[in-house]
Structure 1
Amino acid sequence: MLLDWMKSHPTLADDPVSGFDPDAVTVSETVEIAAPASVVWAVLTDMPRYNEWNPFCVRASSTLEMGAAVDMTLMNYAVPGTLVPNCEYICAFEPERMISWEMIHSDFWPYPARRDQVIEPTGEASCRYFSTDAFLGANGIHVFRFAGPWVKRAFDDSARALKDRAEMLYAQEQKA
């Protein structure tokens, strides 16, 4: 999944616009979740409910089709108390395993990036989750140096909140 993408993506030397630099990647903490991958997937793809659990992405909408926009409202960890609109595009979708979206390079926004959210089943009723953000192209390392620390904090907060939400929903499901 993620490793396959990194291996197949052009390196920065090959493509200064959207090439991959392994030094420009933010990785969240990995959380162990006491719920099946299917429950975690259901939480991640129920975008209208992000505001109920996600401290970083407080609004999201998308059809989740390949190439579809993911319109988001993000908490601005660089300027606390403010919100930032963000639009990226679905670029990978493997049910119960990975969902990815990317910001594509443009003249208006020369800062391409790709976010992968990865679910790894560890048992019938357990899995682990982590996310990455690869800042791409020649500007990627500069964006990483500026935004990497607060993006990591945001992704760590989201991973812990996802764990809490999935475990709560799974516990409710088991009681029903």
Structure 2
Amino acid sequence: MAKHHLHTEIEIDASAQRVWAVLLDFASYPHWNPFIKSIAGVPRQGARLEVTVQPSGGKAMRFSPVVLTADAGRELRWLGRFLLPGVFDGEHRLLIEPLGEGKVRFQQSERFSGLLVGPSRGSLDRDTRRGFDDMNRALKARVEEGAPERA
């Protein structure tokens, strides 16, 4: 079974709580997020989300991952699958690491595994990685510009 890992990160001048608030404001994603176009659902371990991603230059993909971790102010992680387990699985992780007063490192990564990962490696490295980087920069801009928080 093929495996592949993508990892991106960016430093953001804001508190972990501020970054977390923007990440969990799913209703605002269509307004600022160039990669994850929408998320619906409750970020709670065991819950299922409805997610639409669209890397720039790629087509939109919808899936219903299961939340593995929802650690407030720190980590949101989910597992998405294409068709059946082992075909194309992706464990997506959004991690906020405090670096000091008012500064964090935001990390976005995904571990892919399954039969279709090998043939998809080129588009993962090109399109999906670009989507991660685009989202990271947009998140940084939104958080640092002080976009309104929603409860």
Match of 1:75 in 2: 54
Note closer, same or farther for the CA distance 1:139–1:83 as it changes in structure 2 (3 Å cut). closer
Q: Which residue number in structure 1 is paired with residue 36 of structure 2? A: 57
Which amino acid is 2:21 matched to?
A: A
Partner of 2:106: 129
Percent of pairs with identical residues: 26
Other structure's SS at 1:112 match: strand
Q: Supply the distance in 1 between the matched residues of 2:127 and 2:45 (Cα, whole angstroms).
A: 28
Structure 2: 5+ residue runs without aligned partners? none
4+ long deviations beyond 6 Å = none
One-letter amino acid of the structure 2 residue matched with residue 43 of structure 1: V
Taking structure 1 as reference, are residues 53 and 106 closer, same or farther at Cα in structure 2, changes over 3 Å only? same
In terms of Rg, which structure is larger? 1
Q: Where does residue 25 of structure 1 map in the other structure?
A: 5
* Deviation for aligned residue 1:52: 1.8
Distance 1:141 1:168 in 2: 39
Q: CA deviation at 1:65?
A: 1.3
2-structure distance, mates of 1:132, 1:141:
18
Instruction: Compute the TM-score of the two structures, normalised by the length of structure 1.
Output: 0.74
- Residue 69 of structure 2: which of 61, 67, 92 is its match? 92
What SS class does the counterpart of residue 164 from structure 1 fall into? Answer: helix
Answer 1 or 2: which has greater strand percent.
2
Corresponding residue for 1:12?
none
